[in-house]
Structure 1
Amino acid sequence: MKKIVLTGAIVLVITAFFLFDLNAYLTLDGLKSSLAEFRHWQQQSQLLTGLLFFLLYVVIAAFSLPGAAIMTIAAGALFGLPWGTIIASFASTLGATLAFLTARYLFRDIVQTHFSARLKAINAGIERDGIFYLFTLRLVPIFPFFLVNLLAGLTPISVRNFYWVSQIGMLAGTLVYVNAGTQLAQLTGLPGILSPDLLASFTLLGLFPLLARRLLQLLQHRRVYAKWQRPSQFDRNLVVIGGGAAGLVTAYIAAAVKAKVTLIEARKMGGDCLNYGCVPSKALIRSSRLVHQIQHGEDYGLLRQQPAFSFRQIMARVNDVIRRIEPHDSSERYTGLGVDVQQGYARIVDPWTVEIQYSDGHMQRLTTRSIVIATGAKPFIPPLPGLDETGYLTSDTLWEAFSNRDTPPERLVILGGGPIGCELSQCFARLGSHVTQIEMADRIMIREDEEISALAKAALLQDGVAVLTSTRALRCERDGLRKIIVVEQNGTEQKIEFDELICAVGRVARLTGFGLEALGIETQRTVVTNEYLETLYPNIYAAGDVAGPYQFTHTAGHQAWYATVNALFGEFRKFKVDYSVIPWATFIDPEVARVGLNEQEAREKGIACEITRFNLNDLDRAIADSATQGFIKVLTSPGKDNILGVTIVGEHASDLLAEFTLAMKHKLGLNKILGTIHIYPTLSEASKYVAGEWKRQHVPQLLLKWVEKYHAWKRGKAD
């Protein structure tokens, strides 16, 4: 109600201003004709005239009324250059601040709520560099000051900063107009005040804050490098530490643009994804799913039977899959692409020197213009008492440990309810293990919607996994040959016996052993970088799991492009990493895939959205494949078809997500998807159907009523 009253008052004042033609007084001719009367009032009471003039100026600026320039000229004509400048400067700044506060009070929450996703990067830029941008706008008179006031009110810039920047930034322009007012008789029009030369001077002056900021950056960089001796020439353009996804893509791009690049890997080329993560886990998932399908043959018109399989052969297939993909990431391939591949341990000696220690003990030092740290991550081991005594496996070590087993472990405990824990739990349960999954939170897959978590838990329970949520692991114990984990749930301790235990409670960045501490490069959970992936040193970058904020192979490759281009060509232009459209998937059955916002995040961030849903049990191909479990859920802006986020649950959900990821990346709405031909019968038709469901909900009912009347009229009209 307060906002409505205030808005009404503003509209009333502006309407009255134009209705009574008050703007006629705020012209150059109006000022000249009224000057004698103003001087008469000034002679009667100079203090009162000055105060009333000040208040009038504040009102005009606060209500964004046309005439602020005339008021500034009038200040010079009435009060002279010194006092006129003081009055106009403070009145204009105070009025501008009131307009700023009004816009903030009335509109900022609405704008930020409805356009939060688009404004996220702008808000971050304003919080970081808003003072410089505002100062530039204030110094250049070609930007309408009233518009700057209103738009600034919608941003996160503080009132204090807005006031003092405006006070100083508008001073130069105020002086010019006040000085022109002292020569009022010679003025024939406002354009005469600002000559092209003067405008050019103001523009150059307006660029000064940005140039000053650049100068400060250069000085800061010099201070960072002050204690190091820069080489006069370099052995390499780029040295990459780590041969995982981020490191491989970085080296590939650098070699493709003919840079001299060295890639250093201490362990296995391909990193965690090829050797311990994505590749072996997906191979195991495929085998376990086939076992599950044979067990449920009646779903496909077959006889139900128990499949006979060798766990040793399944693990052999996993290793064979790794071997078949290895050539894609091998030293031989990258050497052929022009990359100098070195097998050894890398340590950054100074900002331009990397030392390589080889397995035979000898060392080599390389100087380089830039360095990319791509050392990846490793499984986090919780500080659980007794864990070392009972023994444990991780997503890195289980493949070798299980490769020579004839059967899977009979009793398996998996710590963690995230994507890795869920995938492994379902796999081993389908292969015959009695799996107990322990999660401290109140649900598994905590980053997804509650609905998704419940569905995932139901799928795991159906496959025989004992899912214990809100359960805290207390300690591990040995009782002879028996291995036990003690957990607490609802205040009650429970002992669970196991043969093997897998820690899948997350991964942590590999931060030690590379010389980061000696260089003073800040690390927290990851290497601290800016939006360009630069560390403390502008020529040292980080990409992939070691940089965060996502730990996906595809985001590692995504970051690698930015790190490489910025490292090699940053002196010409640097690119900020774009995290606006990041897809991911959890490969349980049914798969869960997501891009952008989900309901949970939209609710937490206060983002208004509409939700459109299509269930796969209405899709012909899903029915034919007996794969009807799942749905597509799309979040859009209220009343619009632009996509804020998509969650897909179902068979091949990760593949179906690609169309929505493309649409979000290139700002294509649901109408574009609806207008695209999809092959029948395919699972991809679900994308079109969910778009059609959105369209059905937004049919213009009033127009349809008129169309109905038109058709009725056509039926009754003789040709």
Structure 2
Amino acid sequence: MKRLGILLLLVAVVAAWFALDLGHYLTLATLKSQQAWLATAYRDNPLMVIGAFFLVYVAFTGASIPGAGVLTLAAGAIFGLAIGTLLVSFASTIGATLAFLASRYLFQDAVQARFADRLRPINAGMARDGPFYLFTLRLVPVVPFFAINLLMGLTPIRVFTFFWVSQLGMFLGTVVYVNAGTQLAQIDSLRDIATPGLLLSFAALGLLPWAGKAIMGMIVRRRIYARWQKPKQFDRNLVVIGAGAAGLVSSLIAATVKAKVTLVEAGKMGGDCLNYGCVPSKALIKSARIADAMRRADSFGLTPMEPSFSFPEVMRRIHAVIAEVEPHDSVERYTGLGVDVVKGYARIVDPWTVEIAREDGATQRLTTRSIVIAAGAAPLVPDLPGLEGSGYVTSDTLWEEYAKLDEMPRRIVMLGGGPIGCELAQAFARLGAEVTQVDRGERLLPREDADVADLARAALDASGVKVLTGHAALRIENDADGKRLIAASADGEVAIPFDALILAVGRKARLTGYGLEELGVEVERTVVTDAYLATLYPNIYAAGDVAGPYQFTHVAAHQAWYASVNALFGQFRRFKADYRVIPWTTFLDPEIARVGLNEQDARAAGVAHEVTIFPLHELDRAIAETAKEGFVKVLTPPGKDRILGVTIVGDHAGELIAEYVLAMKHGLGLNKILGTIHTYPTMSEANKYAAGEWKKKHAPQRLLALVGKYHAWRRG
């Protein structure tokens, strides 16, 4: 109510100003006609006139009422250059700050909540360069000063910063106008003061801070490169290290724009996703799902049966799938696309030189304008006593190691409760292994909401996995009685026997062996980059798992566009990597797909939200397919249909989430999804019904009551 009262008061003042045509009292002609009287009043009562003028000026600028230009001329005509400049400088800044504070109090919260995603990069820019932006706007009057005051109030710029930058930025203009006021008789129009030459001079002055910043950037870059000798010419425009998703996309983009690019890979083309991760795991999951469906055939009116299979055949199928996908990422394909592919180990010896220990034994040195590091990540192996003699495999090595086995291990311990651990635990359990999943956390999938983690655990339980959360692995024991994992829980130590141990406790970026230490490139858990994916050296970029913050194949490909384009064309324009809408899927059965905020993230960030849920057991297609487990959960701002985030649990969740990814990317709300025709009967209707649930909660009840009365009247 306070905000509404202040807003109504300001609107009333401005409306009265225009309705009563009070502006005709504040014109150049009126000022000239009253100049003698004003001078006499100042001579007779200087302090009173100074005080009155100061308050009037503050009131006009604070209320964003036009007329500051004439008032500034009046200051020169009445008080002279020195006192007039002093009065206007402080009065204009105080008035501008009052308008700034009013805008912040009245509108900032609502605007920031309504346009949070779009304003996030603007807020980041203001936090970094806000004083530069404000100073330039004050000197380059492309936007009226009152609009600057109001718009800046919507940003997170500090009040004191706004005050002093405004005073500094407006000072020269104040001097010019006050000085013109001392020569009032020679002025017929405000255009006589704001000449094109003067405005261009101010514009040049306003750009000085940016020029200074650019010069400082050049000095910093020269200092960074000072100890290196830059080549006079280059063998390549770009060298890419690593042929996973990020490296393949980076090199393909470079070749597409006709740059000369070399792609260096020490292992297998296609990286982790093709050879050790996404492709083989999904092939395994499919085989396991078929086995589970055979056991549950009675759910579909068929006779259930225990699947009989050869584990070596399952592993051969997985490798056949890899082999079928492999040509998409092969040396031959990329060579044909114009990429120079070199098999070997790459090491950066200076910011423009890459040394390659080639697979054929030769050593090759290439000079290059830019470098993209796309070395990927490797499974994390914990420092666990007894681990080395346990015969463990990781989520990477199991595909080669288990392909050598005649039978699937009977008892498997899966160490790790993240997406990889959950997926593999369920798959091996469905194929008949006795799987025990161990995780030190209190629940599985800690990045997901509690209700999602509960569904995941229920799915694992139903598949036969014994889940032990809150159990910290202590050591491995290996003796005549067999192998055991010793874990500690709140109830004490427990021994878990196993025939096979799979480690799925996370992945770490590959940071060593590439010369980063010698170059002084900062690394933490990943290569440290700026918003443009550049390292300490502006011509060396990183993308994919080695750069973080997400370890997903699709994010690696997404980052590769920014890294390669910035590396090749950054001298003209650079692009900040955009992480606003990042989806991911955990390929359990049922699948768990996510984009944007979930409930626990929203609470942690203090984001006001409401939750809409549509359960899949109400969806016709899910009922027909006996796939009723799960839901669509949508987060929106209170009373708004803008999508903050979506979690989908259910069959084909990874496909269903794409509609919400598109909607969030392009600012489409739930009303748009509700108004889109979805084929019946399909799982995708769940998205429309979720939007319908939101609409029902926000139906205009008063209007509907009136419509009901109207229809009753129509019936007579």
TM-score (norm: length of structure 1): 0.94
Q: Does the Cα contact within 8 Å between 1:545 and 1:551 map onto a contact in 2?
A: yes
Residue 199 (structure 1) aligns with: 199
**Amino acid paired to 2:466:** A
1:183 aligns with 2:183: yes
Taking structure 1 as reference, are residues 470 and 21 closer, same or farther at Cα in structure 2, changes over 3 Å only?
A: farther
Q: Deviations over 1:458-517 (max 9, x none)?
A: 111122222222332233333445323232222633232222222212111111110111
Query: Tell me, what secondary structure is at the counterpart of 1:344?
Result: strand
- Aligned residues of 1:116 and 1:607 also touching (Cα < 8 A): no
- Quick one: structure 1 residues 679 and 142, their matched pair in 2 at CA, closer, same or farther if it must change by over 3 Å? closer
Q: What is the CA distance between 1:47 and its match in structure 2?
A: 4.2
Task: Quote the RMSD (CA, aligned, Å).
Answer: 2.4
Q: Which sits farther off after the overlay, 340-349 or 114-123?
A: 114-123
* Cross-structure match for 1:649: 649
Q: Percent identity?
A: 63
What does residue 270 of structure 2 align with? 270
After superposition, the C-alpha distances for 1:99-145 in whole angstroms (9 at most, x for unaligned) are 32343344333332333222211111111121211111111234222
C-alpha displacement of 1:224: 2.0
- Distance verdict in 2 for CA 1:382–1:25, change over 3 Å: farther
Q: Distance in 2 between matches of 1:19 and 1:659?
A: 50
Question: Which residue pairs with 1:225 in the alignment?
Answer: 225
2:243 maps to what in 1? 243
> Which whole-Å CA distance do the structure 2 matches of 1:617 and 1:289 have between them?
21
Single out whichever of 294-303 and 140-149 deviates more from structure 2: 140-149
Q: Tell me the distance in 2 between the aligned counterparts of 1:129 and 1:667.
A: 27
* Offset at residue 284 of structure 1 (A): 0.7
SS of the equivalent of 2:681 reads coil
CA distance in 2, matches of 1:104, 1:52: 27
**Alignment map for 1:673-684 (pairs within 5 Å):** 673-684=673-684
Asked whether 1:536 is paired with 2:536, we answer yes
Indicate the residue corresponding to 1:333 in structure 2. Answer: 333
1:591 correspondence with 2:556:
no
Letter in 1 for 2:695: K
| 1:426-445 equivalence runs, <5 A | 426-445=426-445
* CA distance in structure 2 between the aligned counterparts of 1:11 and 1:339, rounded to whole angstroms: 64
Q: CA-to-partner distance for each residue in 1:430-456, whole Å, 9 max, x for gaps?
A: 122222222222221111111111111
Structure 1 range deviating more: 295-304 or 639-648: 639-648
* 1:649 aligned partner, one-letter code: V
**Structure 1 residue 98 corresponds to structure 2 residue 92:** no
Which stretch of the first structure deviates more once superposed, 154-163 or 694-703?
Answer: 694-703
**1:439 and 1:468 in contact (8 A); partners too:** yes
Give the letter for the 2:348 counterpart.
Answer: I
Structure 2 CA distance, aligned partners of 1:486 and 1:3? 62
Which region of structure 1 is more displaced relative to structure 2, 654-663 or 603-612?
A: 603-612
1:690 CA displacement: 2.5
What's the counterpart of residue 393 of structure 2? Answer: 393
In structure 2, what is the Cα distance between the partners aligned to 1:342 and 1:188? 75
Q: Using a 3 Å threshold, how does the CA distance of structure 1 residues 703 and 6 change in structure 2: closer, same or farther?
A: closer
- CA drift of 1:24 comes to 5.2
What's the CA shift for 1:606? 2.6
Residues 569 and 172 of structure 1, relative CA distance in 2, 3 Å threshold: same
Q: Does 1:80 align with 2:80?
A: yes
Report if the CA contact (8 A) 1:113-1:606 is conserved. Answer: no
Is 1:114–1:608's contact at 8 Å kept on the other side of the alignment? no
> Quick one: distance in 2 between partners of 1:2 and 1:497?
68
Distance 1:178 1:494 in 2: 84
SS in 2 for 1:388: coil
Secondary structure at the residue paired with 1:390?
coil
In structure 2, distance between residues paired with 1:392 and 1:69 = 79
Offset of residue 43 of structure 1? 1.9
Q: Residues 485-634 of structure 1 correspond to what in structure 2 (within 5 A)?
A: 485-490=485-490, 492-634=492-634
Give, as a single letter, the amino acid of the residue that structure 1 aligns with 2:121: A
Amino acid at match of 2:649: V
The DSSP-based 3-state class of the residue aligned with 2:126 is: helix
Report the alpha carbon displacement of residue 45 of structure 1 after superposing the two structures with TM. 4.2
Structure 1 residue 412: Cα displacement: 2.0
Matches of 1:573 and 1:7 in 2, distance apart?
Answer: 42
Could you say which residue in structure 1 is the equivalent of 2:375?
375
Query: Match of 1:443, SS?
Result: coil
Q: CA deviation at 1:374?
A: 0.5
Secondary structure at 2:678's aligned position in 1?
coil
Cα displacement (A) at 1:51: 4.0
Counterpart of 2:140? 140
Corresponding residue for 1:157? 157
**Alignment-derived partner of residue 691 in structure 2:** 691
1:344 and 2:368 are equivalent in the alignment: no
Match of 1:448 in 2: 448
Q: Which residue of 1 aligns with 2:66?
A: 66
Structure 1 window deviating more from structure 2 (322-331 vs 677-686): it is 677-686
CA distance in 2, matches of 1:397, 1:491: 33
Distance 1:376 1:94, change over 3 A: same
Farther-moved stretch of structure 1 (625-634 vs 486-495): 486-495
Decide which moves more: 98-107 or 5-14: 5-14
Which amino acid is 1:501 matched to? Answer: L
The one-letter code sitting in structure 2 at the alignment partner of 1:35 is Q
Task: Supply the distance in 1 between the matched residues of 2:254 and 2:623 (Cα, whole angstroms).
Answer: 48
Aligned to 1:111: 111
The reply on whether 1:252 has 2:266 as its aligned counterpart is no
SS in 2 for 1:75: helix
Shifted more, 184-193 versus 534-543: the winner is 184-193
Distance 1:384 1:109, change over 3 A: farther
Structure-2 residue corresponding to 1:314: 314
The separation in 1 between residues aligned to 2:18 and 2:41, in whole angstroms, is 25
Taking the aligned partners of 1:456 and 1:235, their CA distance within structure 2 comes to 52
| Amino acid aligned to 1:553 | T
Aligned position for 1:234: 234
Q: Structure 2 CA distance, aligned partners of 1:405 and 1:70?
A: 90
1:664 has 2:632 as partner? no
Which SS does the other structure have where 2:477 is aligned?
strand
1:152 counterpart letter in structure 2: M
Paired residue type of 1:255? A
SS at match of 1:643: coil
For 1:141 and 1:61, the matched residues in 2 are separated by 16
Structure-1 separation of matches of 2:559 and 2:660: 21
Contact 1:114 1:607 in 2 (8 A): no
Paired amino acid for 2:110: I
CA contact (8 A) 1:443 1:470 kept: yes
Deviates more, 1:245-254 or 1:81-90: 81-90
Aligned length: 716
Structure 1 residues 57, 575: CA separation in 2 closer, same or farther (over 3 Å shift)?
Answer: same
Cα separation, partners in 2 of 1:109 and 1:387, compared to 1, 3 Å: farther
Q: Measured at CA, do residues 2 and 688 of structure 1 come closer, stay the same or move farther in structure 2, by a change above 3 Å?
A: closer
Quote the offset at 1:211 in angstroms.
3.4
Partners in 2 of 1:712 and 1:99 — Cα distance?
A: 51
Whether the 8 Å contact between 1:673 and 1:691 is mirrored in structure 2 is: yes
**What is the alpha-carbon distance in structure 1 between the residues aligned to residue 96 and residue 553 of structure 2?**
49
Alpha-carbon shift at residue 19 of structure 1 (Å) = 8.2
Contact 1:280 1:319 in 2 (8 A): yes
1:313 match: secondary structure: helix
> SS in structure 1 opposite 2:629?
coil
SS in structure 2 of the partner of residue 170 of structure 1? helix
Letter in 2 for 1:519: L
Contact 1:352 / 1:367 at 8 angstroms: preserved in 2? yes
Please give the alpha-carbon distance, in whole angstroms, between the structure 2 residues aligned to 1:387 and 1:513: 25
Give 1:687 shift.
Answer: 2.4
Partners of 1:411 and 1:499 within 8 A in 2: yes
Structure 1 contact 562–576 (Cα < 8 Å) conserved? yes
Give 1:31 deviation, angstroms.
3.2
Deviations 1:409-429 (A, max 9, x none): 222222221111111111112
